Amino acid sequence: MRASVSIALAGAGIAFLVATCGQDEAVAPPAIPFAPLTDPSLKDPDNPTKVFRVDFARVEEGFPLSRADLMKLTSKNLALLSQEEIDQIYGRLTAGSIPDGIYEGNLFFARGSSLPERLEEIVGGIKGRFVGSLVDSLEGLVRLTWQGKTFDREQRIARTLVEDFAALRTLVDDPDTITTVAVPRRGLLRFVSPTNRVWVLFPAKLYCGQSLIDGRRESVIIDYNYNDEIAGYRANPDGLLGRGGLALRDEIRQVRPGFYLGRAYVGHVFLLNFTLLNRELAERETPGFAAGRETAEDCWAGEQIRKAGAQR
């Protein structure tokens, strides 16, 4: 057991080193409009000290995101924002097209938040504090092992890309038989070898459905519940995210072609943010998007007309 923990901690240290060494350019928060984080006009007359957050419909009406604004968003600068600001961005996006192919991923917590803090809040009590302290040492490892997702648009199935680490092999049935795919390497290791083969695990159903944060329009849902009905399911470790485990549910909306902003939920409780990027698709489609070309919408975009498409 001690050996496993040592390996995990070493992996976390490597993750931190690779991530920090790979950041070779300065990053600043995106210069885009945000509504005030609270609206004093919505105060409860029966509770004068209570201030409601601005609803997404009013944010979108008063502070629309132009395509030029959306072009400013990246995985790195989104991670510099508060959760309220990230929520405002997500509420002004539409689902776009259901993705297909391999997308590299980056998970992040709102400024001042972390995985241990979120799990402590979700689990609660003494058990929550124990889970938080345990995960605290592994957060760097989690960041490095999660590489993104691969989507099969036709079959409506998504799977997660996971780094093949010795510390994880004890949790996986027959690890040598797991399907692998090549993905771009991160950090300094990309200069040694541009690609890396990673595991394809954790199947999930892919469909359009109601967002848990913004019911005005749909998101693309990545649902791990009932993943045991999907071909290729492995009880270990796929069951960890299914209805018998964390009951994980992701939802994503398109920032621009090939680039999505996502939210992960344990049950109905928000856990963390993430982004997904298909570089080839983004490089091919982004110039047309920036120029105002119409984009596909596979999910219900709601009744409120989003103004980003008309602005540059």
Residue 205's closest CA among 251, 143, 147?
A: 251
Q: Which of 7-11, 38-42, 260-264 has maximum average pLDDT?
A: 260-264
Q: How far apart are the first and last CA of the chain?
A: 56
Q: Which of 58-62, 149-153, 169-173, 293-297 has maximum average pLDDT?
A: 149-153
Contacts of 126 (CB under 8 A, 6+ apart): none
Q: What is the mean pLDDT of the chain?
A: 82
pLDDT band at 267 (very low <50, low <70, confident <90, very high): confident
For the record, the structure tokens of 221 come out as 């849902």
Bridge partners of residue 207, in order along the sequence: 221
d(CA 128, CA 218): 32
Mean pLDDT over 148-159 rounds to: 98
pLDDT score of 2 = 41
Phi, psi of 47 (to 5 degrees): -145, 80
DSSP-derived secondary structure for 110-176: -TT--HHHHHHHHH-HHHHHHHHHHHHTTHHHHHHHEEEEEEETTTTEEEEEE---HHHHTTSSSGG
pLDDT score of 285 = 96
pLDDT score of 194 = 79
| pLDDT tens readout for residues 93-132 | 999 999 999 999 999 876 555 555 655 565 555 544 544 4
Q: Which of 135-144, 195-204, 223-232, 269-278 has the lowest mean pLDDT?
A: 135-144
Q: Which of 89-93, 134-138, 237-241, 265-269 has the lowest mean pLDDT?
A: 134-138
More confident residue, 120 or 146: 146
More confident residue, 163 or 109: 163
Give yes or no for residue 18 having a pLDDT over 50.
Answer: no
Percent of the chain with pLDDT over 70: 75
d(CA 80, CA 71): 16
Residue spans of the domains in the chain: they are: 2-310
Q: How far is CA 49 from CA 7, 36, 54, 275, in A?
A: 50, 17, 16, 36
pLDDT score of 10 = 44
Pick left, alpha or beta for residue 125 (phi over 0 → left; psi -120 to 50 → alpha; otherwise beta). Answer: left
Give yes or no for residue 232 having a pLDDT over 60.
Answer: yes
pLDDT score of 23 = 44
Give yes or no for residue 189 having a pLDDT over 80.
Answer: no
d(CA 292, CA 139): 40
Amino acid in position 287: P
d(CA 95, CA 211): 10
Mean pLDDT over 223-229 rounds to: 96
pLDDT score of 195 = 82
d(CA 252, CA 295): 16
For the record, the structure tokens of 138 come out as 């592994």
pLDDT score of 60 = 93
> What's the predicted TM-score (pTM) here?
0.83
| pLDDT tens readout for residues 44-103 | 777 766 666 778 999 999 999 999 999 999 999 999 998 899 999 999 999 999 999 999
pLDDT score of 307 = 53
Q: Which of 147-156, 169-178, 245-254 has the lowest mean pLDDT?
A: 169-178
Mean pLDDT over 148-170 rounds to: 92
Give yes or no for residue 154 having a pLDDT over 60.
Answer: yes
d(CA 252, CA 96): 9
Give yes or no for residue 282 having a pLDDT over 80.
Answer: yes
The helix, strand and coil proportions of the chain, stated in percent and rounded to the nearest 5, come to: 35, 25, 40
